[in-house]
C-alpha cells in the first residue's frame, strides 16, 4: 500500500505528476516508486529499498546509474561550454567530433549526422527529410511512410503515426499516409506449419503488394527496428530483412533502421542491422548514444541520402528544420565518452559474453512455468510471453492485467522489469555480472510463481 501521509513522496507524486504509459489503477493501489539514487545496475527509492533495474531505465542506462567517467565528462563540458546550438553554420567542437565518430562507427563509408533531443524527434526529422527530398527533387506525391504493426517509433505526432499501436487511435492517429504492415512475430502471426523463412517471404510479398497498390511513386520510406523493442522485444524471423530489402531497392524506397533501442550494443553488435546482416540507407540513434546520461538523438545518413539532402538543401539555400538544443555540447561530450565506454571499455564484450546465459535463463523459466508460451532474446534484450494455454497460444483475459501483475510482483522482490501486452520484457544494463544476471532470474522466477499460482 502507498504511504498516504499528506506530505509523503507517494502523495506528492500523485498530487502533481502525470505519468506516461502507466497502469493507473496499480499506482493508485500501490503508490509510485520514487527513485532517489543509483548504484551500478541498481536504483534506490526514497525509503531505501534497492531494485535491480532489469530494463536499464528505459533501455538506455547501459553503463549503470553512477558511471564515474560519464559523470566527469558532463562536469568538464558544463565548465567549458554548457550549451549551444547547431544553427546558422555555428556548431560546437564537441558536436563536430561526435559527427565524425558516429560516421566512423556506423556501417556507412561516409555520411552526415543531424542531431535531435530524442528518438521520437529523430524519427520525425527523418520523415521530414524524406518529404523535403521528395518536394525539392520534383516528386511531391512521395509522402507515404511504411512501418509495421506493433512497431514503436516514438510519441510525437509523426512518430506516433509510424508507431503501430492501437492506443494512438485515442489521439486521432495515425495521420493520413502512414501504413502499417504485418508484425514480423513468427510465433504469433506465422501460419500453422509455416517456417520462419516462409513467413519472411510472405511478408516480402505483402510489402510488394502494398507498394504496387499504393503506387511506388507515393512512398517516401520504410522504417523498421532491427528487433522490435516496445512491441515486446521481438526479433525478426529468419531471412526477414534479406527478403524485404530487394523489394524496397527495386522501387527506390529508402530503408531506415530505427536503432534507438538496438544501437550501440544491445543486440551484441554495434548496430542491430549488423546483427541481422542488412545495410540501411539511414540510421536513427538515441538512448544508448549517451548511455542515458543526456537526452539526445541523431539521424545518421548514409552516402546516398547524405548527398541528396545536401544537394536539396543547397538548392533552396537551407534545410529549414532544427531544435534549440540540437548538437548540445554537453550531450555530445557525454556521447563521445559513452561510445568509448561501450565499445572500448568492455561493455559490448560483456553483452556478447552474457547473451548465452541470458537466453538460457529465459528458456529455463519457460521450462519451469507452463504459463509461458514463448521466450525470445537477442543480445541483452528479451521477453517471456504469458499465456493461459501454451498449446493453443491462448492469452490470458485482458481484464487480468497479467503482465502488470508480474511486474508489480517483481517490484516486491526488488526487481524492475517491463510489462508489454502479455509479455515481460528484460533489457538489463551492459555492466551486469553473471551473479547479478542470476539474481535477476531468481527474482523473476519467484514473481512468476506467485502470480501464476493466483491465476490458476
**Which residues contact residue 213 at a Cβ distance below 8 angstroms, ignoring those fewer than 6 apart?**
none
CA nearest 178: which of 106, 236, 127? 127
Answer for the pair 62, 264: CB distance below 8 angstroms, yes or no. Answer: yes
Partners of 415 in the beta sheet? Answer: 52
Answer for the pair 225, 236: CB distance below 8 angstroms, yes or no. Answer: no
Positive or negative, the Cα torsion across 96, 324, 265, 220? negative
CA nearest 30: which of 57, 49, 58, 56? 49
Q: How many CB atoms lie within 10 A of CB 274?
A: 18
DSSP state string for 196-258: HHHHHHHHHHHHHHHHHHH-GGGEEEEEE-SSBSTTTSBPPPTTHHHHHHHHHHHTT--EEEE
Cell of 180: 502499417
Architecture of domain 33-66+349-455: Alpha-Beta Complex (3.90)
- How far is it, in rounded angstroms, from Cα 364 to Cα 352? 19
Using alpha carbons only, what angle is made at residue 29 by residues 450 and 385, rounded to the nearest 5 degrees?
40
> Of all helices (H) and strands (E), which one includes residue 309?
helix 303-315
Q: Print pLDDT tens along the chain (456 aa).
A: 667 788 899 999 999 999 999 999 988 889 999 999 999 999 999 999 999 999 999 999 999 999 999 999 999 999 999 999 999 999 999 999 999 999 999 999 999 999 999 999 999 999 999 999 999 999 999 999 999 999 999 999 999 999 999 999 999 999 999 999 999 999 999 999 999 999 999 999 999 999 999 999 999 999 999 999 999 999 999 999 999 999 999 999 999 999 999 999 999 999 999 999 999 999 999 999 999 999 999 999 999 999 999 999 999 999 999 999 999 999 999 999 999 999 999 999 999 999 999 999 999 999 999 999 999 999 999 999 999 999 999 999 999 999 999 999 999 999 999 999 999 999 999 999 999 999 999 999 999 999 999 998
Quick one: pLDDT at residue 3? Answer: 74
- How far is it, in rounded angstroms, from Cα 131 to Cα 280? 18
DSSP state string for 328-386: -HHHHHHHHHHHHHHHHSSHHHHHHHHHHHHHHHHHHHHHH-TTEEEEEEETTEEEEEE
Burial class (CB in 10 A: 0-12, 13-18, 19+), 28: exposed
Positive or negative, the Cα torsion across 422, 165, 159, 123? positive
Answer for the pair 129, 98: CB distance below 8 angstroms, yes or no. Answer: no
Cα–Cα distance list, 278 to 127, 275, 442 (Å): 21, 8, 36
Quick one: pLDDT at residue 4? Answer: 73
Domain 70-344 has CATH 3.40.640.10: yes
Q: Where are the domains of the chain?
A: 33-66+349-455, 70-344
Would you call 82 helix, strand, or coil by DSSP? coil
Cα–Cα distance list, 289 to 62, 293, 339 (Å): 10, 9, 7
381 phi and psi, to 5 degrees?
-140, 135
- How far is it, in rounded angstroms, from Cα 387 to Cα 403? 10
Give this prediction's pTM: 0.96
Cα–Cα distance list, 321 to 88, 146, 148 (Å): 11, 22, 27
Task: Provide the phi-psi class of 232: left if phi over 0, else alpha when psi is between -120 and 50, else beta.
Answer: left
Quick one: pLDDT at residue 308? Answer: 98
CA nearest 135: which of 304, 313, 284, 281? 313
Quick one: pLDDT at residue 1? Answer: 64
Cell of 138: 520534383
Partners of 285 in the beta sheet? Answer: 298
Answer for the pair 356, 380: CB distance below 8 angstroms, yes or no. Answer: no
Using alpha carbons only, what angle is made at residue 191 by residues 188 and 193, rounded to the nearest 5 degrees?
110
Amino acid at each position: 500500500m502507498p504511504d498516504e501521509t499528506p506530505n509523503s513522496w507517494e502523495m506528492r507524486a500523485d498530487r502533481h505528476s502525470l505519468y506516461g504509459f502507466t497502469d493507473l489503477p496499480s499506482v493508485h493501489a500501490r503508490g509510485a516508486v520514487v527513485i532517489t539514487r543509483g548504484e551500478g545496475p541498481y536504483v534506490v527509492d526514497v525509503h531505501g529499498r534497492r531494485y535491480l533495474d532489469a530494463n536499464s531505465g528505459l533501455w538506455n542506462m547501459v553503463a549503470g546509474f553512477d558511471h564515474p567517467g560519464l559523470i566527469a565528462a558532463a562536469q568538464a563540458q558544463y565548465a567549458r561550454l554548457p550549451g549551444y546550438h547547431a544553427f546558422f553554420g555555428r556548431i560546437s567542437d564537441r558536436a563536430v567530433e561526435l559527427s565524425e565518430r558516429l560516421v566512423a562507427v556506423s556501417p556507412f563509408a561516409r555520411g552526415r549526422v543531424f542531431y535531435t533531443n530524442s528518438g521520437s524527434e529523430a524519427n520525425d526529422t527523418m520523415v521530414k527529410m524524406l518529404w523535403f527530398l521528395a518536394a525539392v527533387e520534383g516528386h511531391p506525391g512521395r509522402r507515404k511512410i511504411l512501418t509495421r504493426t506493433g512497431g514503436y517509433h516514438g510519441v510525437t505526432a509523426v512518430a506516433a503515426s509510424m508507431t503501430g499501436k492501437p492506443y494512438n487511435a485515442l489521439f486521432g492517429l495515425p495521420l493520413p499516409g502512414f501504413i502499417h504492415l504485418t508484425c514480423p512475430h513468427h510465433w504469433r502471426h506465422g501460419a500453422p506449419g509455416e517456417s520462419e523463412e516462409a513467413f519472411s517471404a510472405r511478408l516480402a510479398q505483402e510489402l510488394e503488394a502494398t507498394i504496387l497498390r499504393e503506387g511506388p511513386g507515393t512512398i517516401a520510406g520504410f522504417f523498421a527496428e532491427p528487433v522490435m523493442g516496445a512491441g515486446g522485444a521481438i526479433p525478426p524471423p529468419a531471412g526477414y530483412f534479406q527478403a524485404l530489402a530487394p523489394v524496397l531497392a527495386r522501387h527506390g524506397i529508402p530503408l531506415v533502421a530505427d536503432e534507438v533501442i538496438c544501437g550501440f550494443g544491445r543486440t551484441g553488435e554495434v548496430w542491430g542491422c549488423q546483427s541481422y546482416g542488412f545495410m540501411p540507407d539511414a540510421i536513427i540513434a538515441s538512448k544508448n548514444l549517451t548511455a542515458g546520461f543526456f537526452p539526445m538523438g541523431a539521424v545518421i545518413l548514409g552516402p546516398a541520402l547524405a548527398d541528396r539532402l545536401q544537394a536539396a538543401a543547397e538548392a533552396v539555400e537551407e534545410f529549414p528544420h532544427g531544435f534549440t538544443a540540437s548538437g548540445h555540447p554537453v550531450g555530445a561530450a557525454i556521447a563521445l565518452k559513452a561510445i568509448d565506454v561501450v565499445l572500448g571499455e568492455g561493455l559490448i564484450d560483456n553483452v556478447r559474453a552474457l547473451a548465452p546465459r541470458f537466453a538460457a535463463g529465459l528458456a529455463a523459466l519457460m521450462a519451469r512455468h507452463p504459463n509461458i508460451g514463448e521466450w525470445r532474446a537477442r543480445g541483452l534484450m528479451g521477453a517471456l510471453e504469458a499465456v493461459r494455454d501454451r498449446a493453443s497460444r491462448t492469452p490470458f483475459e485482458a481484464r487480468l492485467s497479467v503482465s502488470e501483475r508480474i511486474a508489480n510482483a517483481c517490484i516486491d522482490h526488488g526487481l524492475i522489469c517491463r510489462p508489454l501486452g502479455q509479455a515481460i520484457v528484460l533489457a538489463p544494463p551492459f555492466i551486469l555480472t553473471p551473479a547479478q544476471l542470476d539474481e535477476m532470474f531468481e527474482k523473476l522466477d519467484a514473481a512468476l510463481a506467485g502470480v501464476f499460482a493466483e491465476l490458476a
